[in-house]
Homo-oligomer: A and B are copies of this chain.
């Protein structure tokens, strides 16, 4: 069908480039559509409420590796990754749809494990699993999930683009752990494939391996914000790394960011293993994905409310220099932050 036309490899655009290209001409027509393509989740007005939806797709050997990812953990993690985008809108997710396509190499018992992990996550995050589709695939496992949440308060919805100059940049939890966990798992996989008699000893890496295999969704933090009567000016979940997320937030809000290196929350295990791999821990914290923490900007007036809260760390602030993303070291040196995942560098 296309043999006589010019062809462009998808790889030339990258994931975000492809999404931007495909969605650039999409227009929404309905007055119930508040937010369409381009934020963590879509927002629809339904009577006197707002419906927030996000959908994700996960493909085997791209988004997960079953040689080291137990299916129960994987099911749990997929739910976390999906609801994380609804949480990033400052909304509590309530309902989940799960679509699964799987090849015949999967046994019923394997799929029961995946489902068990999904149901554990549903219980933990108080989600009702209300439907979906199960079918075959020719090779491997592909899962797609859709999470929905509702709010009556339009003013509490947080978008990517609301950051204002001098707002605080705040991260939940700690950063870079999931990425270093993945490095350990991939190293051990390589060793195992070369020396099958060796059993990997992951115990000393338990924290970071856990961050990779079974991350948590920060529903607790969204609840905390509600309790503290704080509405962030903007928010995203950290799925691709802080450097990538501030790029999205900066572009959408026409602002810049300064991040203070010594403020980056890094777990000691992440730090040790980064050094073991000869990686700069700050670069790991800024570029590692899969943490599913929340990154938000807050008006400075809220500082006293969050001061000392171990879940919320001020890592920088918003500047009026649109598109300028900098890391400031303890010695006051300034380095531009490049928004790139590790996968692009290797």
- List residues of chain A with CB under 8 Å of any chain B CB: 1-2, 5-13, 15, 18-19, 21-22, 26, 28-30, 32-33, 35-37, 39, 41-42, 44, 46-49, 51, 53-63, 70-71, 94-95, 97, 99-102, 104, 106-113, 115, 119, 126, 128-140, 142, 144, 146, 148, 150, 152
Contacts and interface: CB of A to CB of B under 8 A. Distances in A.
Give the most central of A113, A129, A133: most B CB within 10 Å: A133
Contact of A128 (B10, B29, B97, B130): B29
Given A18-B134, A131-B37, A131-B42, A55 B146 contact: yes
B107 A9 contact: yes
Contacts of A138: 59-62, 139-140
A129 B36 contact: yes
Contacts of A144: 55, 57, 99, 133, 142, 144
A97 B55 contact: yes
Contacts of A11: 104
A39 B131 CA distance: 8
B142 A104 contact: no
A229 to B, nearest CB: 23
A97 B142 contact: no
Nearest to A107: B7
A94 B31 CA distance: 11
A10 B106 contact: yes
A186 to B, nearest CB: 16
12 contacts: A5-B109, A13-B108, A15-B136, A33-B95, A37-B131, A37-B132, A42-B95, A47-B152, A51-B148, A55-B133, A55-B144, A57-B133
A22 B134 contact: yes
A95 B50 CA distance: 14
Given A2-B107, A37-B132, 20 more contacts: A7-B108, A9-B104, A10-B107, A13-B108, A15-B134, A26-B119, A28-B128, A32-B94, A36-B128, A42-B130, A44-B94, A47-B48, A51-B51, A53-B131, A55-B133, A55-B146, A57-B142, A59-B101, A59-B137, A101-B142
Per CB-CB distance, the 7 closest pairs between chain A and chain B, nearest first, are: A144-B144, A42-B130, A57-B99, A8-B108, A7-B107, A59-B137, A42-B131
Contacts of A19: 134
B110 A26 contact: no
A287 to B, nearest CB: 19
A100 B33 contact: no
Contact of A37 (B28, B30, B130): B130
A132 B97 CA distance: 14
A44 B148 CA distance: 10
B18 A111 contact: yes
Contact of A36 (B5, B21, B131): B131
B44 A47 contact: no
Contacts of A9: 104, 107-108
B36 A70 contact: no
A150 B48 CA distance: 13
A315 B138 CA distance: 37
